[in-house]
Amino acid sequence: MFIQTEPTPNPATLKFLPGRTVLESGTLDMQTPESAEASPLAKALFAVEGVSAVFYGQDFIAVSKSSGEWAHLKPAILGAIMEHYVVGEPLLAHSEAATDKAEIFYDAKDAETVESIKELLETRVRPAVAGDGGDITFRGYRDGTVYLAMKGACSGCPSSTATLKHGIENLFKHFLPQVQSVEQI
Kindly report the CATH number assigned to the domain that includes residue 179. Answer: 3.30.300.130
Nearest-angstrom CA–CA distance, 138 and 106 = 11
Work out the average pLDDT over 107-131.
89
**Residues 123 and 66 both lie in one domain:** no
**Residues 8 and 94 both lie in one domain:** yes
Residue ending a domain, choose from 71, 98, 125: 98
**Residues 117 and 176 both lie in one domain:** yes
**Residues 88 and 12 both lie in one domain:** yes
pLDDT of 116 over the 90 cut: yes
**Residues 93 and 110 both lie in one domain:** no
- The dihedral built from the CA positions of residue 136, 122, 107 and 102, taken in this order, carries a sign that is negative
**Residues 166 and 126 both lie in one domain:** yes
Better-predicted residue by pLDDT, 97 or 132: 132
Question: Helix count (H) and strand count (E) of the chain?
Answer: 6, 9
Find, among 76, 93, 182, the residue nearest to 139 by Cα: 182
Nearest-angstrom CA–CA distance, 63 and 29 = 10
* pLDDT at site 157: 67
163 — pLDDT class (breaks 50, 70, 90): confident
pLDDT of 95 over the 60 cut: no
Domain range holding 174?
Answer: 105-184
Provide the domain count of the chain: 2
**Residues 93 and 115 both lie in one domain:** no
* pLDDT at site 97: 46
